[in-house]
Amino acid sequence: MRTRTEMVEQTDLGAALIGGLIRAQLGLALRLGLAVAVGFGALPVLFGIDAIAEVTVAGIRLPWLILGVVAFPVLYTVGWLYVRLAQRNEDDFLELAGD
């Protein structure tokens, strides 16, 4: 109960605990955001290679298949992973604050 009181009263310890949670959540968001940006940012370079840009599958060029079919499951998976890891951060915080 002491830890919760310190957070409610915003003492130095409470502020440090909440700040740690915020930093953990921000770090997680930035890491996953960077992974998505690098992954999707590399696509124009990949599509610039003629050997890949000219490949067709079922009459559809490979770049369109990657953008239209592969991109959405990747983004969904990253979103699911973010929610799962963010919840783990919050559970760890609550365990620490539970006394």
Q: What are the structural domain ranges in the chain?
A: 2-97
Q: What pLDDT shows up at residue 80?
A: 97
Q: Are 89 and 25 in contact (CB under 8 A)?
A: yes
Name, in order, each residue with C-beta under 8 angstroms of 64's C-beta and a sequence gap of 6 or more.
Answer: none
Distance CA 17, CA 6 (A): 9
Chain segment 68-90, per-residue pLDDT in tens: 888 999 999 999 999 999 999 98
Residue 92, both tokens: 């760890």
Distance CA 87, CA 43 (A): 31
Chain segment 7-27, per-residue pLDDT in tens: 666 677 777 778 888 999 999
Q: What pLDDT shows up at residue 56?
A: 86
Chain segment 25-51, per-residue pLDDT in tens: 999 999 999 999 999 999 889 888 888
What is the enclosing helix (H) or strand (E) of 61? strand 60-61
Distance CA 43, CA 64 (A): 11
